[in-house]
Amino acid sequence: MAHANENLFSVLPWNGYKAAVSLTFDDGDPIHLDLAIPEMQKRKIRGTFFLIAGNLTRQDEWGKIAGLNMEIGNHSMTHKHAYELNDDNIYEEVDKANEVLKKLSGQNIFSFAYPFVEITEPLRKRVEKNCIIARGGTTGVLYYTPDMTPDWYDIHSQATMTHYDFETYKEWIDTALDSGAWTVFMIHAIDGSDWWQPIPKNIFIGVLEYLKENQDKIWIAPFGEVSAYWKAQKIIESAKIIKKEGKYIIKWKKPELFPPGVLLKIKVNDKVSKIIHAEKIIQPDSQSVFTISFDLSEMTFIKN
């Protein structure tokens, strides 16, 4: 069986940008509401907020951030260590937390972040039943290139630290850009908070400014959004092709729990004259890029 990839079409990595950066924030620290979110909004930068469902102050305000196009992710119910989890509480810590956060935000919850970056098999299994992606370790691969096949339930991130200077973060961003990769920031506190590893406010703003300067090259998007795009890309690139009367019909299956509305950018080779998608002929943009809806699970290429 032929595969749909290279010959006929290619999916543009990172939504058509050169690289991707996701800003993720942990533990629902109020400084995120008071400082991080307003500063991000000013610059139209979106991110992911991993909330502890059972330990959340200012719930009304958190509930509203989904409306600002920010992502809310699951950071468990009470932030227990992995060794404290057992058959009696693991459902509560993962599934129930997902439900609580869904109710709070009015959003489905697709992303999980392991408390204390501790991953055990039972925990991972529970997470797989609720989310499409999880943020895990902080060592090893920190820059994901499109050709890699990642462990979707252990995506690594880089933690911000009080003593790091701006150059450190600039280098993270530049490395992602230079290698066409995706990197994930794990941010805790910012000055004005007594939570873990507060970073100076001017450095945080500096990171936002630097990202904004590079926004035509970097896809700055929530963790779950980048994950969904990349996961959809992998699925569509290995999809079944049915060859029939000068047509190639490409079908794929959307996994359970997958977020709706994922759009993929593709380019086709010059033997394809038309794409039919949802029974309509679709047109490319000025860069010859077609936009495909992953939800539709099918597209047809007509050969010249």
**Interface ranges with Zn ion (CB under 5 A):** 26-27
Contact 71, 47 (CB under 8 A): yes
The secondary element (H helix, E strand) that includes residue 243 is: strand 240-244
Long-range interactions of 187-191: CB distance < 8 A, separation 24+: 187/23, 187/24, 187/25, 187/26, 187/36, 187/159, 187/160, 188/25, 188/26, 188/27, 188/29, 188/159, 188/160, 189/29, 189/31, 190/31, 190/32, 190/35, 190/36
Hey, what amino acid is at 35? Answer: L
Minimal distance in Å, beta carbon 302 to Zn ion?
A: 51
65 secondary structure, DSSP code: G
Nearest distance, CB of residue 48 and Zn ion, angstroms? 13
When the beta carbons of 186 and 220 are compared against Zn ion, the nearer one is 186
Q: How far is the CB of 105 from Zn ion (least distance, A)?
A: 18
* Closer by beta carbon to Zn ion, 13 or else 115: 115
Rounded to a whole number of angstroms, the minimum distance from the CB of residue 24 to Zn ion is: 11
Nearer to Zn ion, 157 or 214 (CB): 157
Task: Provide the residue count of the chain.
Answer: 304
Q: Which is nearer to Zn ion, 152 or 195 (CB)?
A: 195
**For Zn ion, which is the closer residue by CB, 96 or 265?**
96
* Shortest distance in whole angstroms from residue 115 CB to Zn ion: 5
Beta bridge partners of 251: 240, 298
